[in-house]
Amino acid sequence: MTLIVFDVDGTLVDSQHMIVAAQAEAFAAVGLPAPSRARSLSVVGLSLPQAFTALVGADGPVEALSEAYKQSFGRLRAMAEIREALFPGAADLLARLNREAAVQLGIATGKSRRGVDHLVAVHGWEGWFSTVQTADDAPSKPHPAMLYQAMAEAGAEPSRTVMIGDTSYDMAMARAAGVTALGVSWGYHLPEALHEAGADAVVDSFAALDDALRRHIAAG
């Protein structure tokens, strides 16, 4: 069996508009200017406390920002004009992999479990993922705990596990856990950053990702 673990934001889901908007509201709530869009997106993938620590420092209002962000994100998610849209090709690839007998699917994300449960329900993915690791379950990326827990739950070996993500945090986590690291170029970190963090390869489309995964599965 091959365990294929997906990051969510920036990999499967184009949530940048919601993330930037929720961060702006959170900073306004504590009376601070919001970071630039690029700076906001640079911390996507980290758990909220780590993300806000990176933005304001350990002595900043990290807890207040985290709470305000959660409130804002939940409100924005309910608004019809702002959605966490899947990247084109994501749904088809997940559906194909879900039908693959030799594959188990997993998630490792900085989102909360509540956020992941919402996405699973909205997109009809119930029962598709053998393991789901969230910010509620483990230390923030790039710590490898999420992947260690995912492999333990799925009964998978590192040599048969693939981590797919769009940030350097995903690639560094994969390298630390001893699993294959596949980067995607359509997310929030530049391909050069993914390579520098240890990506085995970086793909530019879901078709290319599908090809890479087929080769990995066949090699097993």
Helices (DSSP H) in the chain: which residue ranges? 16-29, 37-42, 48-56, 62-77, 90-99, 113-123, 145-154, 168-177, 191-196, 206-219
Q: Rounded to an integer, what distance in angstroms lies between the CA atom of residue 33 and that of residue 40?
A: 12
Burial of residue 58 (number of CB atoms within 10 Å: 0-12, 13-18, 19+): exposed
Residue type, position 1, single letter: M
Give the integer Cα–Cα distance in Å for 159 and 178: 8
Q: Which amino acid is at 73?
A: F
Q: Which helix (H) or strand (E) holds 61?
A: none
What's the one-letter identity of residue 109?
Answer: T
Active site annotation includes 7: yes
Helix, coil or strand: residue 26: helix
Residue 55's contacts (CB-CB under 8 Å, 6 or more residues apart) are 35, 39, 40, 43, 65
Could you give the angle at the alpha carbon of 180 between the alpha carbons of 175 and 184, nearest 5°?
95
> Would residue 166 show up in a list of annotated catalytic residues for this protein?
no
Catalytic residue among 7, 166, 170, 200: 7
Residues that are catalytic = 7, 9
